[in-house]
């Protein structure tokens, strides 16, 4: 997958795939809106006297939408490979836009020409729609050929990657001052939650389906809060309950010490996020954790997964706290300067 993405212009690929599909969808929607004014069947071929070949409405719209997508993909995708010459890619992008818009114009002109007719044999292609749409398709294709940036572009993602590379080059220890880990309750806890919720919910759903579904949703929500994402880097410690809800954000300069410990969740108020008095905790189970002492005297306990990851987290927190004090960001030092 990585080799494929390196060989194509991803933005051009998204446009080449998405534009014909959206154009076909717009054509189908317009046809449905015109449906009450159209005869049945619809003419698909005309001569000077009117329609001579016919097709059902669904076939006209379905085949027409497929033609728009096929024509757009056939040409637009030729502009996607970065190995091709820049001029060729620009020409293909403009030609693909023109072709897909032209096919849509022809199909739309056929529909508009039959609107209000009781018999498709008396209809003709609407030349106003055909000429106007064809001119717009050609003009927009030319504009696309000029504005399409076929050269590789520098993106904000590249800026961030360069910044990270420079920071790592200037400070090789940066990589060791960061840790990200997921912690969760034991599997037996989730089995217990499933048994305690799914079985009663199945019985309740027989009489009140919505109440059974509500019980299952509550169980899933409760199980999600027994997951936590822990992130520690030079900015500090952050903990996200269920992976998305941030409940702990401790700056590095506010950390006094951190040490691994084997804790009992009951000693901190139970599982999940707890905050009472001067102690806070995010524990998904009893066992390995990291106890953090803050410079204001408060304490924080965070589940560490296993013994090794808890020790690693404590080590990183101790190091970033020491670095913050060394850089002169200690709150006590700041008060002394004031």
In a domain? residue 163: no
Band of residue 76 on the pLDDT scale cut at 50, 70, 90:
very high
Share of the chain above pLDDT 70, in %: 89
Q: What is the mean pLDDT of residues 236-259?
A: 88
Mean pLDDT of 159-178: 70
Residue 184 maps to a domain: yes
pLDDT at residue 338, rounded to an integer: 31
pLDDT digits (tens, 9 = 90+) for 63-75: 999 999 999 999 9
Q: Write the CA distances from 308 to 157, 158, 201, integer angstroms.
A: 33, 34, 39
Listed residues 97, 126, 147: the one ending a domain: 147
Residues near 205 by beta carbon (within 8 Å), at least 6 away in sequence: 211, 212, 213
Say yes or no: 251 and 127 in one domain.
no
Q: Which of 310, 324, 235, 241 is nearest to 280 (CA)?
A: 241
Q: Are residues 131 and 184 in the same domain?
A: no
Whether residues 105 and 202 share a domain: the answer is no
Higher pLDDT: 31 or 208? It is 31
pLDDT at 142: 94
Q: What is the mean pLDDT of the segment spanning 291-316?
A: 89
Could you give the CA distance from residue 228 to residue 217 in angstroms, rounded to a whole number?
A: 19
**Residue 223 lies inside a defined structural domain of this protein:** yes
Same domain, 139 and 7: yes
Does 260 lie in the same domain as 120?
Answer: no
Residues 328, 183 share a domain: yes
CATH number for the domain including 309? 2.30.29.30
- Span 31-38, average pLDDT: 91
* Same-domain check for residues 195 and 319: yes
**Shared domain check, 195 and 77:** no
Asked whether residue 264 is assigned to any structural domain, the reply reads yes
Neighbouring C-alpha atoms within 13 Å toward the C-beta of 287: 14
Q: 316: domain range?
A: 177-332
For residues 237 and 277, which has the higher predicted lDDT (pLDDT)?
A: 237
Do 45 and 102 lie in a common domain? Answer: yes
Domains held by the chain: number = 2
Query: Which range, of 9-18, 102-111, 221-230, 328-337, averages the lowest pLDDT?
Result: 328-337
Yes or no: say if 158 and 152 are a contact pair by the CB < 8 Å rule. Answer: no
Domain assignment of residue 167, yes or no = no
- Between CA 322 and CA 312 the distance in angstroms is 15
**32, pLDDT greater than 50:** yes
Q: What is the mean pLDDT of residues 256-262?
A: 89
Instruction: Flag whether 281 is in a domain.
Output: yes
Residue 130: the pLDDT is: 92
Residue 57 falls inside a structural domain: yes
Q: How confident is the model at residue 92 (pLDDT cuts 50, 70, 90)?
A: very high
Specify whether 109 is located in the same domain as 189: no
Over residues 298-326, mean pLDDT: 87
Please state, rounded to an integer, the average pLDDT across all residues of the chain: 85
Average pLDDT over residues 7-32: 91
Q: Are residues 309 and 216 in the same domain?
A: yes
Chosen domain end from 147, 167, 195: 147
Q: What is the pLDDT of residue 333?
A: 42
Tell me the pLDDT tens digit for each residue of 325-338.
776 544 444 433 33
Burial of 113 (0-12, 13-18, 19+ CB in 10 A): buried
Specify if 160 maps to a domain: no
Over range 293-317, report the average pLDDT. 89
pLDDT tens digit string along 116-150? 888 888 888 999 999 999 999 999 999 999 988 87
Kindly state the average pLDDT of the residues 23-34. Answer: 94
Residues 231 and 292 in one domain: yes
Per residue in 175-190, pLDDT (tens digit) is: 677 888 998 888 888 8
């Amino acid at each position: 997958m990585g080799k494929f993405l390196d060989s194509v212009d991803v933005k051009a690929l998204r446009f080449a795939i998405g534009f014909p599909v959206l154009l076909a969808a717009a054509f189908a929607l317009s046809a449905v809106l015109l449906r009450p004014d159209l005869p049945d069947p619809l003419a698909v071929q005309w001569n000077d006297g009117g329609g001579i070949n016919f097709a059902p409405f669904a076939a006209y719209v379905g085949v027409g939408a497929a033609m728009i997508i096929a024509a757009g993909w056939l040409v637009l995708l030729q502009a996607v490979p970065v190995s091709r010459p820049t001029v060729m890619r620009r020409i293909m992008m403009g030609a693909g836009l023109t072709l897909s818009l032209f096919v849509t114009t022809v199909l739309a002109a056929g529909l508009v020409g039959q609107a209000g007719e009781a018999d498709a044999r008396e209809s003709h292609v609407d030349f106003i729609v055909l000429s106007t749409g064809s001119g717009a398709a050609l003009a927009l294709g030319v504009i696309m050929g000029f504005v399409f940036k076929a050269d590789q572009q520098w993106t904000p993602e590249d800026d961030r990657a360069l910044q990270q590379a420079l920071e790592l080059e200037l400070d090789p220890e940066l990589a060791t001052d960061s840790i990200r880990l997921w912690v969760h309750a034991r599997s037996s806890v989730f089995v217990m939650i499933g048994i305690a919720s799914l079985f009663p919910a199945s019985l309740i759903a027989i009489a009140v389906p919505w109440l059974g579904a509500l019980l299952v949703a509550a169980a899933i929500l409760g199980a999600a809060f027994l997951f936590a994402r822990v992130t520690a880097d030079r900015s500090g410690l952050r903990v996200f309950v269920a992976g998305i809800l941030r409940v702990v954000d401790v700056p590095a300069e506010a950390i006094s010490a951190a040490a691994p410990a084997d804790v009992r969740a009951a000693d901190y108020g139970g599982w999940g996020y707890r905050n009472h008095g001067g102690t806070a905790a995010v524990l998904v189970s009893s066992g390995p954790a990291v106890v953090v002492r803050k410079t204001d005297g408060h304490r924080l306990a965070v589940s560490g997964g296993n013994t090794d990851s808890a020790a690693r987290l404590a080590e990183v927190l101790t190091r970033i706290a020491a670095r913050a004090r060394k850089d002169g960001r200690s709150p006590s030092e700041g008060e002394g300067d004031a």
